Structure 1
Amino acid sequence: MTEWLISIEGTETGHQAALVLALMAALLHAVFGALQKGRHDPWLARGAIDFCYLIMAIPFVFFVVPWPEAHMWPIFAAVWLIHVIYKLLQAWTYTKGAYTVVYPVVRGTGPLFTVFGAYLLFGETFSATQWVGIVVLLAGIFGLAVYNMIFLISERDTLHAALGLAVLTGLFVALYTTYDAYGIRATANPFTFLAWFFMIDGFVMPIIASARWWRMADRPTLGPLMVRGLVGGLVAPLSFGAIMMATRLDKVGEAAVLRETSTVFAAIIGWLFLKETVGPRRIALMALIALGAVIVEMGG
């Protein structure tokens, strides 16, 4: 499997595989976001999820994948720091604003910053047609956020803070997407990077979540919380692993843009499971997001 993946890097087969992986990551990332924003406190949910995928990663780190090369340790340190800041910002954002308002803003700013980061770090460029697709996709994403903000938002008193945090979180989405792409390309075996990433990435949030749980006057039952953590612990490696692998096989910026069709899946999940309203205008905006992604793909 590893040899085959490495052999298709930069080929048409690799491009098609990256497309499938990016869209899979989009669906799973929306599921992951809903798991963190759902019935439990976002900090507790993220702590449970991170603890579960840390435990799952340990046997792969020590018994399955090759040991990282020496030059990977400072890369892992930087990756860890970027993701810790991202997760703190993400949890803080979810405590301030409705899922269907802040999620589109985070996911809309992320690919825009990533496109520029991919140009600076990897020299990637987009065609004029692809830029049209990016504009269409972002118009749909931010249009969805504005619509939700006007008609659906209940946290009016924290709206400005939520939007500011969402933009800042989007910046760190771009930072981790670009730097993770650099990291997964820096090692001979991509699964070495993925296994070590999920082990080291899982250390901080369980500590924060535990401290928060102990301070709560009305502590939630740990059983349902850990079930959510287990589901998230299974979804996370598939979601984040898929997008990281896509950035190794093909263009970082293109994979990042295609992943943001997750906004469409997030709106559907918000409607089905979080009981958030979906009407014809929101459906039209979601169609605009999907159209932008198609244009980006067709223009490549």
Structure 2
Amino acid sequence: MSAWLISLEGTEAGKSLALALALLAAFLHAVFGALQKGRHDPWLSRGAIDASYGLMAMPLALFVVPWPEPFMWPIFAGAFVIHSIYKLLQAQAYSRGDYTVVYPVVRGTGPLVTVLGAYLIFGETFTATQWLGMAVLLSGIFGLAVYNLLYLVSARDTLVPALIFAVATGLFVALYTTYDAYGIRATADPFTFLAWFFMFDGILMPIIATLRYRSMVNPPTLAPLALRGIVGGIIAFFSFGAIMMATRLDKVGEAAILRETSTVFAALIGWLFLRETVGPRRVALMGLIALGAVIVEMGG
């Protein structure tokens, strides 16, 4: 399968597959975010998810995929640091704000930085139409932030720090997207990068979650938390794997922006399953984010 995927790089078939993978990643990432923000403490949810995908990736990394080339070890170390900071910031944001408030800002802050990073590292450029799409997308993001500041009622006292953490998390989304795209392109077999990445990435948050669990006066029952972790781990494999494959098959900037259509899925999930109030104005602003992503793809 690796050989087949590699053969599609730079082809029209590869571009079409990258589009499908980026949209799949958008939907799955919205589901993944809802799992972390759901009924359990976000720190515990993330710890359970990371432990699950780290353990699932271990036999694949050690016994199935080719071992990494020697130059990959520093790349994995960098990815571990970047993703660790990202997850700490994300948990802080989710602890302070509603999912439908935090998630769009997290996912929408990073695209501009990702596009700039893709230009500097991979030499990718955008057309005038694609920059228009970027402007539409960013107008939706910042319009949503302003609307939340003016009208949101729930979690009002923690809204400003939630938005600050959300913006910081979004910047690290851009950083890890660009960095990981470099990593998956550096190794001969893309599945080598994915398997070893997930194994290393599953180390930190389970330790933090365990310490937090032990300090709780009324800790939650472990069985539902473990189930959430297993489901989230499987979703993470497909979500992160899909977007990373998309960045290898086609342009990093376009794939990153298409993934931000996840804000639309996030709004639906927050409304249907988390019982959060969305409202027509916020839906319209989230729609601008998705529209901007579509313009970027059509203008390429």
Q: TM-score, normalised by structure 2?
A: 0.97
Aligned position for 1:2: 2
Q: 2 CA distance for matches of 1:257 and 1:173?
A: 11
Task: Using the TM superposition, give the Cα deviation of residue 153 of structure 1 relative to its aligned residue in structure 2, in angstroms.
Answer: 4.2
Aligned position for 2:17: 17
Aligned position for 1:45: 45
Task: Using the TM superposition, give the Cα deviation of residue 148 of structure 1 relative to its aligned residue in structure 2, in angstroms.
Answer: 3.8
Aligned position for 1:118: 118
Aligned position for 1:163: 163
Change beyond 3 A, Cα 1:278–1:97: closer
Change beyond 3 A, Cα 1:129–1:119: same
Q: 1 CA distance for matches of 2:275 and 2:146?
A: 19
Q: 2 CA distance for matches of 1:179 and 1:209?
A: 26
Which amino acid is 1:34 matched to?
A
Task: Using the TM superposition, give the Cα deviation of residue 55 of structure 1 relative to its aligned residue in structure 2, in angstroms.
Answer: 1.0
Q: 2 CA distance for matches of 1:108 and 1:6?
A: 29
Q: Which runs of 5+ in 1 are unaligned?
A: none
- 1:246-277 alpha-carbon deviations (Å, 9 max, x no partner): 11111111111100001111000000001012
- 1:162-188 alpha-carbon deviations (Å, 9 max, x no partner): 111111111110110000000000000
Aligned position for 2:132: 132
1:172 lines up with 2:154 in the alignment: no
In the alignment, is the contact (CA less than 8 A) between 1:100 and 1:148 conserved in 2? no
Task: Using the TM superposition, give the Cα deviation of residue 135 of structure 1 relative to its aligned residue in structure 2, in angstroms.
Answer: 1.0
SS at structure 2 position matched to 1:257: helix
Q: 2 CA distance for matches of 1:28 and 1:75?
A: 26
Q: 1 CA distance for matches of 2:266 and 2:55?
A: 27
Q: 2 CA distance for matches of 1:47 and 1:101?
A: 22
Deviates more, 1:286-295 or 1:9-18: 286-295
Deviates more, 1:161-170 or 1:214-223: 161-170
SS at structure 2 position matched to 1:20: helix
Q: 2 CA distance for matches of 1:210 and 1:204?
A: 10
Which amino acid is 1:104 matched to?
P
- 1:41-89 alpha-carbon deviations (Å, 9 max, x no partner): 0000000000000111011112210010011000000011100111011
Aligned position for 2:215: 215
Task: Using the TM superposition, give the Cα deviation of residue 287 of structure 1 relative to its aligned residue in structure 2, in angstroms.
Answer: 2.7
Q: 2 CA distance for matches of 1:271 and 1:157?
A: 22
Q: CA RMSD in A?
A: 1.2
Aligned position for 1:295: 295
Task: Using the TM superposition, give the Cα deviation of residue 149 of structure 1 relative to its aligned residue in structure 2, in angstroms.
Answer: 4.0
Change beyond 3 A, Cα 1:284–1:159: closer
Which amino acid is 1:123 matched to?
G
Q: 1 CA distance for matches of 2:151 and 2:272?
A: 18
SS at structure 1 position matched to 2:242: helix
In the alignment, is the contact (CA less than 8 A) between 2:187 and 2:193 conserved in 1? yes
State how 1:1-300 maps to structure 2 within 5 Å: 1-300=1-300
Equivalences, count: 300
Q: 2 CA distance for matches of 1:59 and 1:50?
A: 15
Q: 2 CA distance for matches of 1:270 and 1:261?
A: 15
Q: 2 CA distance for matches of 1:138 and 1:24?
A: 22
In the alignment, is the contact (CA less than 8 A) between 2:54 and 2:198 conserved in 1? yes
Q: 1 CA distance for matches of 2:197 and 2:244?
A: 11
Q: 2 CA distance for matches of 1:14 and 1:204?
A: 34
In the alignment, is the contact (CA less than 8 A) between 2:137 and 2:288 conserved in 1? yes
SS at structure 2 position matched to 1:188: coil
Q: TM-score, normalised by structure 1?
A: 0.97
SS at structure 2 position matched to 1:177: helix
Which amino acid is 2:287 matched to?
A
Q: Percent of pairs identical after alignment?
A: 75
- 1:197-249 alpha-carbon deviations (Å, 9 max, x no partner): 00000001000000000000011000111111011011001001111111111
Q: 2 CA distance for matches of 1:200 and 1:177?
A: 17
In the alignment, is the contact (CA less than 8 A) between 1:101 and 1:149 conserved in 2? no
Q: 1 CA distance for matches of 2:280 and 2:121?
A: 40
Which amino acid is 1:105 matched to?
V
